[in-house]
C-alpha cells in the first residue's frame, strides 16, 4: 500500500517521495515521547507541490479516510505535533530559502525594525546569521535555536528566553502564504474592517472562509475574549481571541500556533528587532535556597525590565556538575577555561549546599554603564532579601549559565544511560505570584510518582519546563505518565495557568483542552477546524478530536 501511494504521488510531485525503512523510522519520532510510523514521506520542492498534495488528499479522502498531511520542519517538537501514520511533508530539503532580509523603519517607541521573508524549512540558526548581518533579530527563538526551523516556530507559536520583554512568534508574523483545503495558495495578512467587508463580499473560497470565521467570532465575541488565558504566554488551543477586535481582522494570529491543522504555511514574513539599539549586555545571577522568596524576587526584578529572566533548578545544576565535560565540549572554544569558570559553583555547593533555584537576570542596554547601573541597583535590592548573587558583566562570564539553561535537555537525552527524556509536563505556566505555593506542590507530585526530572524555564513569566527521565520500555514507568499528567494539569488549572506556554498541544496535551477551556470554547475550536478543514486533511488528532488512548499506545519503548 505504501509503495502504491508513493508511486501515485510521485507522478505529480517534483520533489521526492521516500518509503524505505530508514526514512520511515527517522520520521516516526520528533523530540517528544512518541513513536508513530508514517506511510510515506514527501519532500515538496515548492508551493506547487504542496498545492498538488492537498488536491490529491481532497480527491482521495472519501475513498481512504486515513489519508492526511502533516507538515514537518526540523522535528524538534516536544508534543508529537508532526507525527502521523499517513503522509509527512518535510520542508527542510527544498523549501528552505531566505527570500528577503531588509529594513523597514517602524515608529514603535522610536525603534527601527527590519523584516525577513522565509520558507518553513529554513533552520533558525541560518535565518539568524542572515538577519544579524543586517543588524536584526527574531527574538522569539526557543531554547532549541541551533536545531529548530522557522516552520516549527510558526506552527507552535514559539517563545523563549527573550519572550518576557519581546513576546512570542505571533507578535512578529506580519504575513503568511498558506495552502488551504481547496489546494490553492493564499496571502494572509491583517486587514481593517472595511477591507474585511470587501473581502467577504467576494464570491470565492477565500471569502467564504473569512466570512465564516468572522461570523463565528462575532457571534461568540464576549465568550472568546473572556477565554484568553490570564498568563503572559499561551500556546494551548487556537488563538481565537486575537483575530477580531471589531477594528482589525488578523487571520495570521489564528494560523500561527495552529500546528498545521488549518492549512500548510509555505512562506512567512516577520518583523525583526534591531540589535543595534541595545548592543551591551550583562547578567545578575541569583542563587535561591528558599522558594518562598520567588514572588518577592520577581516583583523586585520586573520593574528593571530585563531582556531575559531565566532559571534552572537544583536537579539541572547537579546534571551540569555530573556531565560538566559534556557542556564545555559543546560550548567552549577553550574547554578548560569554562571548567575553571565553574569552580566557584563547585565551591558554593561544597560550602553552602545546592541552591533550589538559580535565576539568570540579563539586561540589554545602549551602554555598558546603563547595564552596570541596573545590575548594581538590583543586586543591592535583592541582597536585602537575603539571597546570594553573582555578577556576570560579559558574555564570557554569562556563558556557563546559558550553557546549563540551553543545553541541559540535549545532554539529558544523550548522557543518561538506559533512560529517556519524557516531555509530558514540559511547558506549564502560572502567574509568578503563585510560584511560592505552586512549585512545592509541583515537586510533591514528582516525589509521589518517583520521577527523576529537571526543571528549567522562564521564571519571569512563571513558565517552567519539567523534563522527567524514564525507562519507557518498562510498563510500570509508562503507567505513571497519565496520572502524573492529570495531577500536574489539575494543579496548573487550579492556579489559573495554561498547560502549555510555548510548546503547543500536539498528541500529548490536546486531550486536555476541553478541561482547560470548557465545553463552550472547545466547541468553538472544533468549529474553527471544521471551517478550515472539513475533510480533516491537515494533521488530524491535534488540537481537537484528540485521543489520549491513541497517544498512550504510541509512547516509544526505546
Q: List, for residues 35-68, the tens digit of each pLDDT value.
A: 999 999 999 999 999 999 999 999 999 999 999 9
Q: Please determine, for residue 138, whether its predicted confidence score (pLDDT) is greater than 80.
A: yes
**Coil, strand, or helix at residue 458?**
strand
Mean pLDDT of 441-446: 95
| pLDDT surpassing 50 at residue 516 | yes
With cut-offs at 50, 70 and 90, classify the pLDDT of residue 317.
confident
- Band of residue 108 on the pLDDT scale cut at 50, 70, 90: very low
Distant-in-sequence contacts of 436-440, Cβ < 8 A, 24+ apart: 436/291, 436/292, 436/293, 436/294, 436/295, 437/495, 438/491, 438/495, 439/291, 439/294, 440/291
Q: What per-residue confidence (pLDDT) applies to 291?
A: 86
Dig out the grid coordinates for 97 from the structure: 530559502
pLDDT at residue 522, as a whole number: 98
Q: What is the pLDDT of residues 319-344, one digit of tens each?
A: 777 766 665 555 555 555 655 566 66
| Pair 462, 431: CB distance under 8 Å | yes
pLDDT tens digits, one per residue of 247-301:
999 999 999 999 999 999 999 999 999 998 889 999 999 999 888 899 899 999 9
| pLDDT computed for residue 355 by the predictor | 87
pLDDT value of residue 400: 80
Tell me the percentage of the chain whose pLDDT exceeds 70: 91
Q: How far apart are CA 397 and CA 284, in angstroms?
A: 10
Q: Which residues pair with 417 in a beta bridge?
A: none
Give tens-digit pLDDT for 368-413: 999 999 999 999 999 899 899 999 998 888 888 887 787 766 666 6
Mean pLDDT for all residues in the chain:
92
The whole-angstrom separation of Cα 86 and Cα 302 is: 47
Residue 17 scores a pLDDT above 60: yes
Predicted structure pTM score: 0.93
Amino acid at each position: 500500500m505504501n509503495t502504491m501511494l508513493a508511486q501515485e504521488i510521485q507522478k505529480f510531485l517534483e520533489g521526492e517521495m521516500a518509503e524505505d525503512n530508514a526514512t520511515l523510522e527517522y520520521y516516526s519520532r520528533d523530540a517528544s515521547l512518541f513513536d508513530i510510523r508514517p506511510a510515506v514521506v514527501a519532500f515538496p520542492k515548492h508551493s506547487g507541490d504542496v498545492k498538488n498534495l492537498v488536491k490529491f488528499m481532497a480527491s482521495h479522502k472519501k475513498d481512504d479516510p486515513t489519508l492526511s498531511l502533516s507538515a514537518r520542519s526540523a522535528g524538534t517538537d516536544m508534543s508529537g505535533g508532526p507525527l502521523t501514520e499517513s503522509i509527512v511533508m518535510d520542508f527542510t530539503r527544498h523549501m528552505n530559502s531566505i527570500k528577503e532580509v531588509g529594513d523597514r523603519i517602524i515608529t514603535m517607541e522610536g525603534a527601527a525594525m527590519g523584516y525577513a521573508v522565509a520558507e518553513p524549512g529554513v533552520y533558525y540558526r541560518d535565518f539568524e546569521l542572515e538577519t544579524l548581518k543586517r543588524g536584526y533579530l527574531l527574538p522569539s527563538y526557543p531554547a532549541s535555536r541551533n536545531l529548530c526551523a522557522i516552520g516549527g516556530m510558526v506552527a507552535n507559536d514559539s517563545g523563549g528566553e527573550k519572550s518576557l520583554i519581546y513576546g512570542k512568534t505571533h507578535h512578529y508574523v506580519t504575513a503568511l502564504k498558506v495552502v488551504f483545503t481547496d489546494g490553492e495558495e493564499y496571502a494572509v495578512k491583517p486587514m481593517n474592517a472595511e477591507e474585511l467587508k470587501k473581502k467577504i463580499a467576494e464570491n470565492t473560497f477565500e471569502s467564504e472562509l473569512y466570512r465564516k470565521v468572522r461570523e463565528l467570532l462575532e457571534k461568540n465575541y464576549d465568550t472568546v475574549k473572556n477565554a484568553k488565558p490570564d498568563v503572559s504566554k499561551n500556546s494551548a488551543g487556537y488563538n481565537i481571541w486575537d483575530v477580531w477586535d471589531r477594528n482589525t481582522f488578523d487571520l495570521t494570529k489564528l494560523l500561527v500556533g495552529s500546528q498545521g491543522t488549518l492549512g500548510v504555511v509555505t512562506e512567512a514574513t516577520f518583523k525583526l528587532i534591531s540589535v543595534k539599539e541595545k548592543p551591551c549586555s550583562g547578567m545578575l545571577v541569583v542563587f535561591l535556597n528558599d522558594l518562598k522568596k520567588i514572588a518577592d524576587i520577581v516583583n523586585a526584578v520586573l520593574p528593571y525590565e530585563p531582556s531575559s529572566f531565566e532559571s534552572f533548578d537544583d536537579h539541572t545544576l547537579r546534571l551540569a556538575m555530573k556531565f560538566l565535560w559534556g557542556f564545555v565540549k559543546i560550548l567552549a572554544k577553550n574547554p578548560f577555561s569554562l571548567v575553571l569558570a565553574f569552580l566557584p559553583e563547585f565551591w558554593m555547593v561544597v560550602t553552602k549546599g545546592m541552591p533550589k533555584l538559580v535565576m539568570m537576570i540579563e539586561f540589554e542596554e545602549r551602554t555598558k554603564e546603563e547595564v552596570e547601573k541596573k545590575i548594581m541597583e538590583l543586586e543591592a535590592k535583592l541582597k536585602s532579601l537575603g539571597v546570594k548573587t553573582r555578577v556576570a558583566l560579559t558574555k564570557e562570564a554569562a556563558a556557563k549559565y546559558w550553557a546549563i539553561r540551553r543545553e541541559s535537555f540535549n545532554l539529558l537525552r544523550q548522557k543518561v544511560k538506559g533512560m529517556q527524556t519524557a516531555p509530558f509536563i514540559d511547558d506549564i505556566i502560572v502567574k509568578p505570584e503563585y510560584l511560592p505555593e505552586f512549585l512545592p506542590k509541583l515537586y510533591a507530585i514528582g516525589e509521589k510518582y518517583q520521577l527523576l526530572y529537571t526543571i528549567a524555564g522562564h521564571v519571569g513569566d512563571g513558565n517552567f519546563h519539567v523534563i522527567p527521565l524514564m525507562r519507557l520500555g518498562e510498563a510500570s514507568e509508562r503507567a505513571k505518565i497519565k496520572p502524573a499528567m492529570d495531577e500536574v494539569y489539575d494543579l496548573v488549572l487550579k492556579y489559573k495557568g495554561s498547560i502549555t506556554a510555548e510548546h503547543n498541544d500536539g498528541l500529548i496535551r490536546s486531550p486536555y483542552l476541553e478541561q482547560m477551556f470548557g465545553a463552550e470554547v472547545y466547541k468553538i475550536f472544533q468549529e474553527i477546524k471544521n471551517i478550515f478543514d472539513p475533510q480533516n486533511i491537515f494533521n488530524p488528532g491535534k488540537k481537537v478530536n484528540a485521543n489520549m488512548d491513541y497517544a498512550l499506545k504510541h509512547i516509544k519503548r526505546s
